[in-house]
A and B are shown apart, each in its own frame.
Chain A
Amino acid sequence: MDAGYSLTSLARSYGIIFVTLVTFVVFSVSRKAFLSPENIYGLFYGVSLDLYAITGFTLLIIMGEIDLSVGSVYALSGTTAGYLATRGFPTEFGILIGILIGFAVGAGNGLLVVKLKINSIILTIGTLLTVRGLSDVVAATMAGNRYAEGFRAIARARFLSLNWTVPAMFLVVLVLEFVLSRSTSARVLYYIGNNRKSALIHGMRTDATRIGAFVLSGGLAALSGVLVASRITIADVDMGRHLEFTILTAAVIGGASLFGGRGRVVNSVVAYLFLAMLANGLIMFGVEPVFQQIIVGVILVAVVAADTQLNKEAG
């Protein structure tokens, strides 16, 4: 292992944290409004709601699979949960149904991809379209009405004068980081992502694990969707649109590989925070939101190009 290789792996593991800190400092020094406690808190609060969808997506990408339906599941589950609560069902019932929808879509994705050996990108594009349509049907039924009071309170509940999701985020990330780096059963995800055949020969239950990861990804996207629907208070047809692409970008610039075997939840979350911070800071510099699409696209391609190049050099 030469110095070049360890520098590469260092960049992969901590590069995104470094870049995020630098961006934070640059924005803080140059724009007063950026460093205000409300703004910073708003950024963290936003990420703390999407955290679960990011986590599920990252676990799948570690195994070399992809779920592009997360944004649609997020919208359908959130809107349905809110709709049921508003129609007079108990809030808990709405949440339960919302999350069950996520598990069900995830199970459908997982079974089809694993049992029929279908390319997960193409299949989940199909699920993306179908579930998005269903979510638009529910959103149209709500017709811009506000969700019930009890439902709106979920994302607003406080813990130590913070929204509970913010401390929960730190706890979840810490626990996940500990489990994924220490536990042997979690290492299975990486083995499957690196070499599925070899993982199978070594006695790992690759099929069951892959289906399980799809189910989890659906359920976690649903959980994030419910929290976000509760926060935005009214049914919104644009909820979660293109979320899959933002999370994919975050996972990739956080060091995950589309070929599997690499990626860390904490890095994806930091990268997602970085993208949110970039959008937030660039607006303060007067950069049009439409122009930010270009920036995200260039960052995505540039990071993957650099990573591919480093991979070639490392052998």
Chain B
Amino acid sequence: MLAWFQSSREVAFLLTVVGAATMALTNRYFATASNFDSLQTILAVNGMIALGMMVLLIAGFFDLSVGSTMGLAGIVCAMLLHAHLPIPLAVAAAVLFGATFGLVNGVLVAIIGINPLVATLGTMFVGRGIIETIATTQTLTGFTGFPKSFTDLGNAKAGGLYLMLWIFLAIAIVTHVALKRFAWGRQFFFLGSNPNAAHSFGFSTRRIISVAYALAGALAASAGVLTVARAETANRYLGAGIELEIIVACLIGGASTSGGRGSVAGAIVGTMLMALIRNSFVLYELDTQWQSVILGAVLIGAVVWEAAIRLARNRANPNEVT
């Protein structure tokens, strides 16, 4: 029982269930169709970014530029659709753009050797700057009036759930299987647990890191495309500040900042708990200022929790190398 509670993922799951039950009992807007709609779309979009971030965290890295990638890819997709490009082509181009943006991060971190904080902070600034530049020069009409088959990506439902949620679940299952069942996926864990050993064993660490960043970029871009399809518009605030929320979701879902730990289930549970917290702000009409206080407190709580468990484990097995 105690061991079960040592994993923040299980605690997050328990909190999600208890939280949802409490909200259902105390707020009459929680268990409504429109609220479930909004929760589903948040889970699909944020969950997708969290999957990419989770793979990076497992490998021992992280990416602050996912919000900029999401925003830029969404705007790229909107501009291409406005130029009457076929929908599959516009979506593919936006996702490819995200992968390329991610690959740039990967090259900066893995090949040139820049600290991930600085590298992705730099690309975050650059991406946000490009978004602002586009937004101030383009007329807003360029970012609305999409064909219906595109907006269906974000608004159509199949079997009672949003199409975008099905897309997310499919990607999540593929990622889960890849991480658990294939050597290709396990190399992320190996690199994150012991980078030196991974290098000595002949793993191409540079390639692993670059692939993880490209994957995170592509997933963030997909999230951007889906958000544009859902909102039927693209604006300059798309994805702004989302990186911290995603990192918090992964950490409360059991990832560690020192690498080697994490799971797809953790990314989903963490995203659900964060979506629920965000949802409660709206349902209980909390002032926006307090939202930041609570998000920060959740993050501090998650890292302190992780650290306390790590220290307890070290005390129990002092010879284990950490």
Give the interface of A toward B (CB within 8 A).
Answer: 66, 112, 116-119, 121-123, 125-134, 136-137, 140, 245, 248, 252, 258-259, 288, 290-298, 300-301, 304-305, 308-309, 312
Task: Given A129-B293, A133-B289, answer yes or no on A122-B303 (Cβ-Cβ < 8 Å).
Answer: yes
Interface string of B99-129 (1 = CB under 8 A from A): 0000000001000111101110111111011
Q: How far is the CA of A95 from the CA of B42 in the complex (A)?
A: 43
Q: How far is the CA of A115 from the CA of B136 in the complex (A)?
A: 47
Additional pairs, 10, CB under 8 Å, beyond known A116-B307, A259-B115, A288-B136: A66-B117, A118-B304, A123-B300, A128-B296, A132-B292, A133-B290, A133-B291, A136-B292, A291-B132, A297-B126
Interface string of B232-263 (1 = CB under 8 A from A): 00000000000010010001000001100000
Q: Are B129 and A301 in contact (CB under 8 A)?
A: no
A244 to chain B, nearest CB (A): 10
Q: Are B136 and A133 in contact (CB under 8 A)?
A: no
List, in ascending order, chain B residues with CB within 8 A of A126's CB: 296-297, 299-300, 303
List, in ascending order, chain B residues with CB within 8 A of A245's CB: 121, 125
Q: Are B299 and A129 in contact (CB under 8 A)?
A: yes
Q: Are B129 and A293 in contact (CB under 8 A)?
A: yes
List, in ascending order, chain A residues with CB within 8 A of B295's CB: 129, 133
B29 to chain A, nearest CB (A): 24
Q: Does B39 contact A (CB under 8 A)?
A: no
Q: Are A134 and B307 in contact (CB under 8 A)?
A: no
Q: How far is the CA of A199 from the CA of B130 in the complex (A)?
A: 45
Chain B interface extent, by class = 35 or more
B58 to chain A, nearest CB (A): 15
Q: Does B285 contact A (CB under 8 A)?
A: no
Q: Report the nearest B residue to A290, measured CB to CB.
A: B132
Q: How far is the CA of A304 from the CA of B122 in the complex (A)?
A: 10
Task: Given A119-B258, A297-B124, A305-B112, answer yes or no on A127-B117 (Cβ-Cβ < 8 Å).
Answer: no
Q: Does B133 contact A (CB under 8 A)?
A: yes
Q: Does B287 contact A (CB under 8 A)?
A: yes
Task: Given A122-B257, A130-B296, answer yes or no on A252-B304 (Cβ-Cβ < 8 Å).
Answer: no
Q: Count A/B pairs, Cβ under 8 Å.
A: 136
Q: Does B308 contact A (CB under 8 A)?
A: yes
Q: Report the nearest B residue to A137, measured CB to CB.
A: B289
Cβ contact of B299, chosen from A125, A134, A252, A309, cutoff 8 A? A125
Q: Report the nearest B residue to A312, measured CB to CB.
A: B113
Q: Are A118 and B126 in contact (CB under 8 A)?
A: no
Q: Are A136 and B289 in contact (CB under 8 A)?
A: yes
List, in ascending order, chain B residues with CB within 8 A of A119's CB: 257-258, 303
A289 to chain B, nearest CB (A): 9
Most buried by B among A117, A131, A133: A133
Q: Does B197 contact A (CB under 8 A)?
A: no
Q: How far is the CA of A32 from the CA of B289 in the complex (A)?
A: 43
Q: Does B283 contact A (CB under 8 A)?
A: no
Cβ contacts A to B, 10 pairs, < 8 Å? A116-B308, A117-B310, A121-B117, A122-B299, A123-B300, A123-B303, A125-B247, A131-B296, A291-B129, A305-B114
Cβ contact of B112, chosen from A131, A134, A140, A308, cutoff 8 A? A308
Q: Are B292 and A129 in contact (CB under 8 A)?
A: yes
Q: Report the nearest B residue to A244, measured CB to CB.
A: B121
List, in ascending order, chain A residues with CB within 8 A of B129's CB: 290-295, 297
List, in ascending order, chain A residues with CB within 8 A of B113's CB: 308, 312
Q: Report the nearest B residue to A123, measured CB to CB.
A: B303
Q: How far is the CA of A88 from the CA of B257 in the complex (A)?
A: 46
Q: Are A130 and B292 in contact (CB under 8 A)?
A: yes
Q: Report the nearest B residue to A116, measured CB to CB.
A: B307
Q: Does B15 contact A (CB under 8 A)?
A: no
Q: How far is the CA of A304 from the CA of B130 in the complex (A)?
A: 21
Q: Report the nearest A residue to B120, measured CB to CB.
A: A301
Interface string of B168-195 (1 = CB under 8 A from A): 0000000000000000000000000000
